[in-house]
Amino acid sequence: MTTRNASLIGIATMLLGILLFSLNDVMGKWLVSTYTPGQLMLVRSAAALLVLSPFILKQGLRRTLRPERPRLQWLRVAIGATESTLFYVCVAHLPLADTMTLWMAAPIWAVLLAALLLGEKVDPARWVAAGLGFLGVALALAPTGASFSPPALLALAGSILFAALLIAGRKLRGTPDVTLVAWQTFGSLLLGIALLPFGWVMPTPRDFGLLALLGIVALLGHLCVTRSLKLAEASVVAPYQYTFIIWALLFGWLFFGDWPTVPMLCGAALIVAAGLALILLERRSVRAPSLPVRKVPIPQQP
């Protein structure tokens, strides 16, 4: 396969993965209006583990259960499970586009967290891009008295946790994908069980199937995104992850009658511009590796 063909297939696979994640978000928003986030986490994780089990057995159960840096794995699991739960809490109260706009600011927060927590050096151009993204977040929150609602602030916290998840993933880049997904899914299952005392609504057979489908679709989306990053360079396929916002706008309008405010649209535009600028700077740093710059994490949806 030529490099060009591999890149085109990688882009197509990334677009398919983002579409699957977006459909997962639509189902999650619809289901969370009836069922608790804990139920969603429990049933979707159980279904995902069932589908993932052949891959775990093929890799080897011992290898899966004994990954490198287990403490960091557990930290990543805790962050990821909490972030996923916050997402379902937020989409129950916010339009899809609003939630996804704030979540897609994660790579921008990652620049700040990497500098503060890891002591990584960030060149001025990246700080400018990150500043543009922070301005977009401020606009998306539309700082009026009514707009700093608990769901909006939880979405902001969720995007910061997602950024921390990206950084943890960078430190575990040598861990096989099956191991990472298995641990993350198992952690979400445990959190779902822990949240059961806060409410349980007996699902109808149809809704139980949809809850299970939620986990399967999310798993397929993750596999598509992971595969795309192996087929093509991250700097080639990463910009297409921002189609999340396009799908969120379309599906939010079609299924829920939501349409974002002007400040939200302006904030989304700035966040996307900042994210694309960071990706462009990363591409240039790869072409000129002698420059003292850092790599920017590429987001993957929970």
Q: CB under 8 Å to 236, separation ≥6 — which residues? A: 7, 10, 11
The verdict on residue 293 lying in a domain is: no
From 294, 214, 238, 274, select the one nearest 39 (Cα to Cα): 214
Annotate 256-274 with b (16+ C-beta within 10 A) or e (fewer). bebebeebbbbbbebbbeb
- Is residue 42 included in any domain, yes or no? yes
User: Which region among 101-105, 109-113, 266-270, 287-291 has the lowest average model confidence (pLDDT)?
Assistant: 287-291
Q: Is residue 234 part of a domain?
A: yes
CA 297 to chain centre: 12
Q: What is the mean pLDDT of residues 132-161?
A: 78
Has residue 274 got a pLDDT over 90?
A: no
pLDDT tens by residue, 29-54: 999 999 999 999 999 999 999 999 99
Highest mean pLDDT among 20-34, 91-105, 255-269: 20-34
> Is residue 132 included in any domain, yes or no?
yes
Residue at 302 is within a domain: no
What is the 3 state secondary structure string of 189-254? HHHHHHHHHHCCCCCCHHHHHHHHHHHHHHHHHHHHHHHHHHHCCHHHHHHHHHHHHHHHHHHHHH
Query: In this predicted structure, what is the pLDDT of residue 281?
Result: 80
* Average of per-residue pLDDT across 170-192: 85
Residue 101 inside a domain? The answer is yes
Structure confidence at residue 41 (pLDDT): 92
Look at residue 164 and tell me if it is in a domain. Answer: yes
| Range of lowest pLDDT (54-58, 121-125, 258-262, 282-286) | 282-286
Domain count, the chain: 1
| pLDDT (average), residues 127-131 | 87
Give every CB contact of residue 200 below 8 A, 6+ residues apart in sequence: 36, 38, 39
The count of residues in the chain is 302
pLDDT at 293: 43
The mean pLDDT of the chain is: 83
Is there a contact between 2 and 232 (Cβ–Cβ < 8 Å)? Answer: no
Which region, left, alpha or beta, applies to residue 292 given φ > 0 means left and ψ of -120 to 50 means alpha? beta
Reported confidence tier of residue 235, pLDDT bands at 50, 70, 90: low
Whole domain around residue 187: which residue ranges?
Answer: 3-287
- Asked if residue 300 belongs to a domain, the reply is no
Looking at residue 291, its pLDDT comes to 43
Indicate the pLDDT class of residue 145, thresholds 50, 70 and 90: very low
